[in-house]
C-alpha cells in the first residue's frame, strides 16, 4: 500500500483528500494529512460569516468523523517542519517522522505583512484564520469598553473588503486603506472601483486610495498610521490584508525549485522538481503565477489525484480567474480578461449611478465572441455571460443587449436557457462540474433533486456563484422529465415564499426566530431575513420597527441611504395633492436642516442629505404638521400618481385626483414582494402614465379601465387590461384581489410584470382568478386586504414615540455627535455630496 502524506489541511488539501477518498483505487493508498490549525479544514471563502454564525462548526468542510469514516489519519495542531527527499520522510515540530511514497504540499499562503515600522504593536492583526477573527472580535470589545471605535483595514482587495465588513459588523468605525489608485485592482477598472467605493462609503466605511503607509504609531497600542504623503489617520485597531505570500519555506529547505518571487514550481502534472512531490493551491507556481482563488486550487487537487492513480489528466494551459462574490453587501463579478481594450477588443459599458450598477463586457472586433467583463451592483447576468465566454458561444447581433436587456432583440444571451448549452459546458468552476454531469445525474435516476445533485457533484457548494444556473439546469431537466419542481427561498427554509406565507399565516408564527425554529434550520441569512420580514408585514401589517434585525438597511432606518451615507426623507403626498400650508412646512424643514429638495417622479417631495441622528427630529416636525411616512424605502406601495382630472382639466372624464388619493390612502404601508406603484389618469390622454405602473386606472366612458403588471425601470413593460368600465367600488374590489393574490404567490423581489410572465396561464388565468373568482378565494382575498388596511400604522410616528426604537438613530454607539466628515459642494443654489 502506497503512503500519501498531505501537508496542509486547508480547502485545497481537503479537496485532494476528498477526491482520493472517492477514487476507485482508494484502497491502494494510506492517507495521512497534517494541519497546523486545531480544527479540521474549513471554508475560508465565507470566513467573514463567522461573526454572524458565532461558531466555526457551520464553516467546517467535513467533521473529524468524515476522516475516520474514510480511513484518513487527520493530525491537527501539528506542523511539518522538515522534508528529507533522499529517504522520502517528513518530520513534524513534535519530532514525529513519517515515510511517504507521494507527498502533497498544500501549505497555501500566509498574509503579506508590509515592512512597516510598528507592525508588531498591540492592536495590529492579520485576517486569515478563525483564530485571527476571534482575536479581532475580542480586541474590538475591549476597545469599545474604553470608548474607542476606530478601525482600519490595510488593503482594498477581496479579503480586505471582507475584513472591512467584519469590523463594521463588530460596531467599529471602519476605514479601508489601499496603495493602488482603485479598489480590487486585479478585478475592477476605474469606473467599477468608483462605483464600489460609493456603495461602500454609503454604508459608513471610509476609503483612502493611493496611500503609501509609512509607520504605525502609538505605544504600546496602535493609535494611528502615518503616510508618506505627510498625512495620517487616527485608528485604534489595524487589520492587515495586503495580499498573500506562498508558504514555500518547507520546499526551499528541501531543495525543491521555487520562483524568484516565491512559490513551488510545478508542471502541468502538478509535479515539483521531485516527481514524488506535488504542490497544489496557493503554494504552487504554475505558468509563473500564484492563483488565490479556490477553483484553480481544486483543479490542481484533481490533477494530482489523477496522476498518482495512474491517470493522464493535466492542468489547463491557462487559468480562468473568473469570480462572483458579494462584498460588503454588493455583488461584484469579473470574468475572462476584464481590462482588455485594444485593436483586438471593444469594450461596451453601462452605468446607472442612481441604482449603483456598472456593467462592462469586452467583445471581439467582429462582435462574435465575449472576451471578458466586469459587473458591480448587479451580477445577475454573470452565469449567462460566463457561459458565453467560457464556451465561446456566438454572441447575438446586438451584443449590448447582454447587459442592457433586450430592446426588441432575442434577449439576454444566444441560448434560450441553460439547457441549450453543450453538455461539455463548465457550470461550476470550483468543482469542475459540467452541464452533462448535472443533467446526466438526473436523467440517469441517480439524483432526483437539487440537493441530490449538489451532494453528488459538489456543484455550487464552494463560492456559490454558479448556484442560479445549477438550479435552473436541475429545474428545467426535471420539468423536461415531467416532474414537478419546487423552488425554495434559501438553504435555511425548504419552502417557496408562497408556502412560507401560508405556513406563517396558518400557524400564526409571530417572529423570525420562531419561524426558524418551526420551519427552518441554521441561523438564517441575508436572503431569507428580508423575505420573512416582508411576509410578516404582508400578513400582520407589521411595521419595520418590530423586528429590526431582519430588515434591509433602508427599512431598518426608515429612509433610503444615499451615496455619502446621508438619508432621504420622503413624506407621503397622496395623489400628488398638497396644501400650501404643508408645502410651507416642507420648505421650512428643508431650510432648517439644509436639505437638498427635489420633486420626485411620483409627485411628492424628496429631501436629501439628512444625517442619521437628524431623521427623528425631522420626522417629529413633519408628523406634527400632518405628514406620514411615504415608505419610499420599503418594498411596499410607493405612490399613486394622478393627473388633474375632471376637476380642472377640460378633457378630464372622471375625478382622477380624488380616486388616486382614495387608493393611495387604502394601500399605504402595504408590504409586498417588491415595490408597488400606481397611477390614475382622468382620460385616455394618460397624463399620469398609469400604464407604466404595477396597477393603472384610466377613465373611459362608463367608468374606469383597470390595467395591471406594468413597470418602468431598466426593462419597461406596459400594464395589460384586466377589466374595463368599472365603477369605483368594483375597481377597488378587483384591485384588492389582484394585490393580495400577487402578495401571496410572487417570489421574493419579483415585481408584478415578471410575476405575470411566470404565472401559469398568464393574463387569462389572472382574469379568471380576480374577475371570475375561479378559485373561490375572492372573498378571502378581499377580507385579508380589509384587515391590513385597518391595521395601518405610520412607522415613523411609532418610532419617534418609542425611546427604545430611537436608539438606532445614532451615527456612533457612544455619542450623539453628528458625522463631521461629510462634505457637500454647491449645486444650483442647493448642495450635493462632493464628487468622488
CATH topology of domain 124-242: FAD/NAD(P)-binding domain (3.50.50)
Query: 217 φ, ψ to 5°?
Result: -105, 165
Span of 76-80, 377-381, 454-458 with lowest mean pLDDT: 377-381
* 804 grid coordinates: 427604545
| Beta strands 29-35; 72-76: pairing state | parallel
- CB-CB contact of 684 with 698 (8 Å): yes
- CB-CB contact of 394 with 414 (8 Å): yes
- For cell 373561490, what's the residue? 776
Give the number of residues written for the chain: 836
**Angle (deg, nearest 10), helices 467-480 and 450-457:** 120
pLDDT category at 390 given cuts 50, 70, 90 is confident
Binding-site residue positions for siroheme: 687
Looking at residue 56, its pLDDT comes to 78
How far, in Å, CA of 517 to CA of 512, rounded? Answer: 9
- For cell 469586452, what's the residue? 362
* 393 grid coordinates: 458561444
Q: Let me know if domain 2-110+246-308 sits in CATH 1.10.3720.10.
A: no
Looking at residue 382, its pLDDT comes to 87
**Domain map (residue ranges) of the chain:** 2-110+246-308, 124-242, 497-556, 558-633+811-836, 635-801
Query: Mean of the pLDDT values across residues 691-700?
Result: 96
Q: Let me know if domain 558-633+811-836 sits in CATH 3.30.470.10.
A: no
pLDDT category at 397 given cuts 50, 70, 90 is confident
Contacts of residue 486, defined as CB under 8 A and 6 or more positions apart, other chains included, come to 496
Q: Residues 405-444: pLDDT tens digits?
A: 644 333 334 455 678 888 888 888 778 888 999 999 999 9
SS3 category, 424: coil
Residue 672 reports pLDDT greater than 90: yes
Judge residue 288's burial from the number of C-beta atoms within 10 Å of its C-beta, 0-12 exposed, 13-18 middle, 19 or more buried. exposed
How far, in Å, CA of 772 to CA of 756, rounded? Answer: 17
Q: How many helices (H) and strands (E) does the chain have?
A: 26, 38
Residue 176 β-bridge partners: 153, 207
- CB-CB contact of 693 with 678 (8 Å): yes
Choose between 352 and 264: higher pLDDT: 264
- CB-CB contact of 139 with 127 (8 Å): no
DSSP 418: G
Record the pTM. Answer: 0.62
Residue 386 reports pLDDT greater than 80: yes
Binding-site residue positions: 643, 649, 683, 687
- CB-CB contact of 796 with 672 (8 Å): no
CATH topology of domain 635-801: Sulfite Reductase Hemoprotein; domain 1 (3.30.413)
Looking at residue 411, its pLDDT comes to 36
Q: Residues 211-221: pLDDT tens digits?
A: 999 999 999 99
How high does pLDDT run on average in the chain?
90
Looking at residue 815, its pLDDT comes to 54
Span of 510-514, 587-591, 756-760, 769-773 with lowest mean pLDDT: 756-760
pLDDT category at 746 given cuts 50, 70, 90 is very high
Looking at residue 488, its pLDDT comes to 82
Q: Residues 288-301: pLDDT tens digits?
A: 999 988 889 999 99
Residue 160 reports pLDDT greater than 70: yes
> Could you check whether 2-110+246-308 and 124-242 share the same CATH topology?
yes
* 540: nearest Cα among 747, 798, 784, 783: 784
Contacts of residue 22, defined as CB under 8 A and 6 or more positions apart, other chains included, come to none
Looking at residue 536, its pLDDT comes to 95
Looking at residue 301, its pLDDT comes to 96
Contacts of residue 650, defined as CB under 8 A and 6 or more positions apart, other chains included, come to none
| Beta strands 264-265; 173-178: pairing state | unpaired
* 820 grid coordinates: 463631521
Choose between 122 and 712: higher pLDDT: 122
Looking at residue 410, its pLDDT comes to 37
- CB-CB contact of 810 with 816 (8 Å): yes
Q: Which helix (H) or strand (E) holds 331?
A: strand 330-336
* 6: nearest Cα among 93, 85, 72: 72
Q: Residues 531-585: pLDDT tens digits?
A: 999 999 999 999 999 999 899 888 989 998 887 778 999 999 999 999 999 999 9
Looking at residue 409, its pLDDT comes to 37
Q: Residues 779-823: pLDDT tens digits?
A: 999 999 999 999 999 999 999 999 888 888 876 555 566 666 677
DSSP 521: -
Residue 651 reports pLDDT greater than 60: yes
Residue 94 reports pLDDT greater than 50: yes
pLDDT category at 280 given cuts 50, 70, 90 is very high
Query: Mean of the pLDDT values across residues 27-36?
Result: 96
Binding-site residue positions for [4Fe-4S] cluster: 643, 649, 683, 687
Amino acid at each position: 500500500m502506497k503512503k500519501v502524506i498531505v501537508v496542509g489541511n486547508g480547502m485545497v488539501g481537503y479537496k485532494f483528500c476528498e477526491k482520493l477518498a472517492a477514487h476507485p483505487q482508494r484502497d491502494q493508498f494510506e492517507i495521512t494529512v497534517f494541519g497546523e490549525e486545531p480544527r479540521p479544514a474549513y471554508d475560508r471563502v465565507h470566513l467573514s460569516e463567522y461573526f454572524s454564525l458565532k461558531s466555526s462548526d457551520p464553516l467546517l468542510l467535513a467533521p473529524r468523523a468524515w476522516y475516520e469514516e474514510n480511513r484518513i489519519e487527520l493530525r491537527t495542531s501539528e506542523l511539518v517542519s522538515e522534508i528529507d527527499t533522499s529517504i522520502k520522510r517528513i518530520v513534524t515540530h513534535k519530532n514525529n517522522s513519517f515515510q511517504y511514497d507521494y507527498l502533497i504540499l498544500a501549505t497555501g499562503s500566509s498574509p503579506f505583512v508590509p515592512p512597516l515600522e510598528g507592525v508588531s504593536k498591540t492592536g495590529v492583526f492579520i485576517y486569515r484564520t478563525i483564530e485571527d477573527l476571534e482575536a479581532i472580535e475580542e480586541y474590538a470589545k475591549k476597545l469599545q469598553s474604553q470608548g474607542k471605535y476606530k478601525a482600519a483595514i490595510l488593503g482594498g482587495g477581496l479579503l480586505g473588503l471582507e475584513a472591512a465588513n467584519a469590523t463594521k459588523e463588530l460596531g467599529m468605525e471602519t476605514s479601508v486603506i489601499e496603495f493602488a489608485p482603485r479598489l480590487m485592482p486585479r478585478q475592477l477598472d476605474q469606473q467599477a472601483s468608483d462605483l464600489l467605493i460609493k456603495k461602500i462609503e454609503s454604508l459608513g466605511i471610509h476609503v483612502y486610495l493611493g496611500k503609501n503607509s509609512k509607520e504605525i504609531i502609538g505605544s504600546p497600542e496602535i493609535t494611528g498610521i502615518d503616510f508618506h504623503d505627510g498625512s495620517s489617520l487616527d485608528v485604534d485597531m489595524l487589520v492587515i490584508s495586503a495580499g498573500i505570500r506562498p508558504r514555500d519555506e518547507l520546499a526551499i529547505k528541501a531543495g525543491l525549485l521555487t520562483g524568484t518571487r516565491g512559490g513551488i514550481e510545478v508542471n502541468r502534472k502538478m509535479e515539483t522538481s521531485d516527481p514524488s512531490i506535488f504542490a497544489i493551491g496557493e503554494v504552487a507556481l504554475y505558468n509563473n503565477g500564484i492563483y488565490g482563488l479556490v477553483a484553480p486550487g481544486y483543479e490542481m487537487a484533481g490533477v494530482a489525484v489523477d496522476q498518482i492513480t495512474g491517470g493522464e489528466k493535466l492542468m489547463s494551459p491557462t487559468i480562468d480567474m473568473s469570480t462572483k462574490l458579494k462584498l460588503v453587501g454588493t455583488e461584484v463579478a469579473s470574468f475572462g480578461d476584464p481590462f482588455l481594450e485594444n485593436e483586438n477588443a471593444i469594450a461596451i459599458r453601462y452605468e446607472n449611478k442612481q441604482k449603483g450598477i456598472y456593467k462592462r463586457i469586452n467583445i471581439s472586433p467582429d462582435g462574435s465572441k465575449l472576451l471578458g467583463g466586469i459587473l458591480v451592483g448587479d451580477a445577475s447576468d454573470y452565469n449567462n455571460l460566463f457561459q458565453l465566454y467560457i464556451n465561446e458561444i456566438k454572441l447575438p447581433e446586438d451584443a449590448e443587449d447582454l447587459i442592457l436587456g433586450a430592446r426588441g432583440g432575442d434577449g439576454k444571451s444566444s441560448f434560450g436557457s441553460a439547457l441549450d448549452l453543450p453538455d461539455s459546458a463548465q457550470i461550476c468552476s470550483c468543482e469542475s462540474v459540467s452541464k452533462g454531469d448535472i443533467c446526466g445525474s438526473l436523467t440517469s435516476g441517480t439524483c432526483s433533486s437539487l440537493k441530490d445533485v449538489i451532494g453528488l457533484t459538489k456543484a455550487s457548494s464552494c463560492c456559490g456563484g454558479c448556484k442560479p444556473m445549477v438550479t435552473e439546469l436541475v429545474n428545467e431537466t426535471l420539468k423536461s422529465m415531467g416532474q414537478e419542481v419546487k423552488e425554495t427561498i434559501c438553504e435555511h427554509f425548504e419552502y417557496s415564499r408562497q408556502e412560507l406565507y401560508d405556513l406563517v399565516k396558518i400557524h400564526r408564527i409571530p417572529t423570525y426566530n420562531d419561524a426558524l425554529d418551526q420551519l427552518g434550520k441554521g441561523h438564517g441569512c441575508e436572503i431569507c431575513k428580508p423575505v420573512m420580514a416582508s411576509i410578516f408585514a404582508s400578513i400582520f401589517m407589521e411595521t419595520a420597527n418590530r423586528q429590526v434585525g431582519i430588515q434591509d438597511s433602508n427599512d431598518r432606518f426608515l429612509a433610503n441611504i444615499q451615496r455619502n451615507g446621508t438619508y432621504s426623507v420622503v413624506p407621503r403626498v397622496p395623489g400628488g395633492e398638497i396644501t400650501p400650508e404643508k408645502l410651507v412646512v416642507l420648505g421650512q424643514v428643508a431650510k432648517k436642516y439644509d436639505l437638498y429638495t427635489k420633486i420626485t417622479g411620483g409627485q411628492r417631495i424628496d429631501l436629501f442629505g439628512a444625517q442619521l441622528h437628524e431623521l427623528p427630529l425631522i420626522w417629529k416636525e413633519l408628523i406634527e404638521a400632518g405628514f406620514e411616512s411615504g415608505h419610499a424605502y420599503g418594498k411596499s406601495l410607493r405612490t399613486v400618481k394622478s393627473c388633474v382630472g375632471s376637476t380642472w382639466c377640460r378633457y378630464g372624464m372622471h375625478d382622477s385626483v380624488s380616486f388616486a388619493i382614495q387608493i393611495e390612502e387604502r394601500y399605504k404601508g402595504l408590504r409586498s414582494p417588491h415595490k408597488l406603484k400606481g397611477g390614475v389618469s382622468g382620460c385616455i390622454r394618460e397624463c399620469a402614465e398609469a400604464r407604466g405602473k404595477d396597477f393603472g386606472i384610466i377613465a373611459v366612458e362608463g367608468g374606469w379601465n383597470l390595467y395591471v403588471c406594468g413597470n418602468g425601470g431598466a426593462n419597461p413593460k406596459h400594464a395589460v387590461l384586466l377589466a374595463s368600465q368599472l365603477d369605483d367600488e368594483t375597481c377597488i374590489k378587483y384591485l384588492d384581489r389582484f394585490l393580495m393574490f400577487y402578495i401571496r404567490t410572487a417570489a421574493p423581489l419579483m415585481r408584478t410584470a415578471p410575476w405575470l410572465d411566470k404565472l401559469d396561464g398568464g393574463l387569462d388565468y389572472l382574469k379568471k382568478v380576480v374577475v371570475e373568482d375561479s378559485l373561490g378565494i375572492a372573498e378571502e382575498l378581499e377580507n385579508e386586504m380589509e384587515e391590513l388596511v385597518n391595521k395601518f400604522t405610520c412607522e415613523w410616528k411609532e418610532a419617534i414615540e418609542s425611546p427604545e426604537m430611537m436608539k438606532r438613530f445614532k451615527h456612533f454607539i457612544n455619542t450623539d455627535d453628528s458625522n463631521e466628515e461629510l462634505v457637500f459642494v454647491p449645486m444650483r443654489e442647493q448642495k450635493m455630496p462632493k464628487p468622488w
